Each structure stands twice: as structure tokens, then as C-alpha cells.
Structure 1
């Protein structure tokens, strides 16, 4: 017996020289489907498209085929929102922090905020009647 480990022996063995026809066919199919998605499909989406065509393969096989072809999914970058560094005080403060109003519909106050929901920003604006403490609109 020689002192060569099994893994070294198999690593030294010559690899198969003939091209894998099935792998070449799958690579060409992946390279057809990827541009149809405008370069946005990842391995999961390519896999589902191939399974619709009747192919039987796994996601990691599709991932390795995409790596062989240097195909990378391009996803849109979320928009970076800027916050105002300085508050603009264009509107005069006529209320002077007197929030106790004797009759309804004499003084309203409002605010706006951003809420992240369903994958995007939503704006919530509220107007409050200071006498009744109810939302006007």
C-alpha cells in the first residue's frame, strides 16, 4: 500500500475530457431565460421558469450554472431619502402653545409622518381640532 490518501488519489486522477451535453443544454437554457427578465431574475426565479418548461433540477444547480456564466441578478436599489438638516420656520406661530381652546373649529393643528408598510413609504397626515381633540381629516 502506498501512503497516498484517497482524496489526493481522486484529485490527481484525470477528469472527464468529454463535455457534459446535458449541462451545456442547461447552461444555454439559463442564458436564454436570464435576459428575458432584464437581468433581474435570480436562481429561484430561473428555476421556476425552467420547471414550468418541464426541467427537473435543483436551485443549487441553477445557481452554479449562473456562476459559470457570470450571471448576477440586478435588483433595484431602494431610494435613499434625505432628512432636512434645518427646520424651516416659514409659518408664524399664532397658537403660542395655548392648546386649550374654548370652542370647536377655532384652532386646528396637524402633523405628517412617514410609515414604512407593504415595502414602501406611506405618508400619514392628521389634522386635530384642539377643542374636541378629534381628528378633522
Structure 2
């Protein structure tokens, strides 16, 4: 059809791809910025951080390179203490830590303070 041999086309397809030094530099910079943010920076914030360093980078290209490098933004959830609707009642200690019983089934004791 195009007077190109099939084997030549296959060799051309399997040839090693030349990697641009700019892309290598950009990949290392994106990885460095992602590590500096403790893995919490996404494509938009990485694009902003790299752009402030003087290299123009869009969020779409940052997203593509992050996928190539296997970088994912992970946000740690914040722990919030729940406020009680009413004050807890203080339960009296009837045993006063005197567990010396003379026969079975006189005193039953248990701890449920950590059950949810």
C-alpha cells in the first residue's frame, strides 16, 4: 500500500522512544512537590506550586504526569469529637474496690466504658 515492508513497520513500532530531558525534569519536580506536601497535593495544587517555581504547567498535564508516576492525592480525615446532647450522669461506686466475696453470685462486676 505505502511501499513499506511489514518488518520495517514492526521494527519502527518497537523502537525505544526518546525521552525529552524537559519531561524528565518535570517528572522529578512533580514527584518532589508531591512528597513535600506529604501526598496531599492534587493536580491543581501541584500545577500551582510548579508554576510559582517558574515552569509553566497546567492542571491537565500535571494530572497526566501524576497518572504516569502513580501519584494519588490522599487527604487525611479530621477527627471531630462529638458533643453530647446532655451531661453524663456520674454512676456511684458501690463496691469501692472491695472484691473479697465469700460465696459465688454475691457480686457481679463488669466494664463497659469502651463499648460503642
TM-score normalised over the length of structure 2: 0.54
Q: CA deviation at 1:20?
A: 2.0
- How far apart, in 2, do the equivalents of 1:89 and 1:29 lie? 54
The aligned counterpart of 1:64 is 64
- Structure number with the higher helix fraction is 2
Q: Are the structure 2 counterparts of residues 50 and 88 from structure 1 closer, same or farther at C-alpha, using a change threshold of 3 Å?
A: closer
The Cα offsets for residues 3-44 of structure 1, whole Å up to 9 and x where unpaired, read as xxxxxxxxxx73772112211111000011111111111111
Count of paired positions = 79
Bigger relative contact order, structure 1 or 2, given CA contacts below 8 A and separation 6+? 2
Per the alignment, in what secondary structure is the counterpart of residue 45 of structure 1? helix
The aligned counterpart of 1:53 is 53
**Gapped regions of structure 1 (runs ≥ 5):** 3-12, 91-137
The aligned counterpart of 2:18 is 18
Q: Are the structure 2 counterparts of residues 89 and 67 from structure 1 closer, same or farther at C-alpha, using a change threshold of 3 Å?
A: closer
**TM alignment of 1:1-137, pairs within 5 A:** 14=13, 17-79=17-79
Structure 1's consecutive aligned runs of 4 or more residues displaced over 4 angstroms after TM superposition are 78-82, 87-90
**Gapped regions of structure 2 (runs ≥ 5):** 3-11, 90-116
RMSD, aligned α-carbons: 3.1
- How far apart, in 2, do the equivalents of 1:22 and 1:56 lie? 12
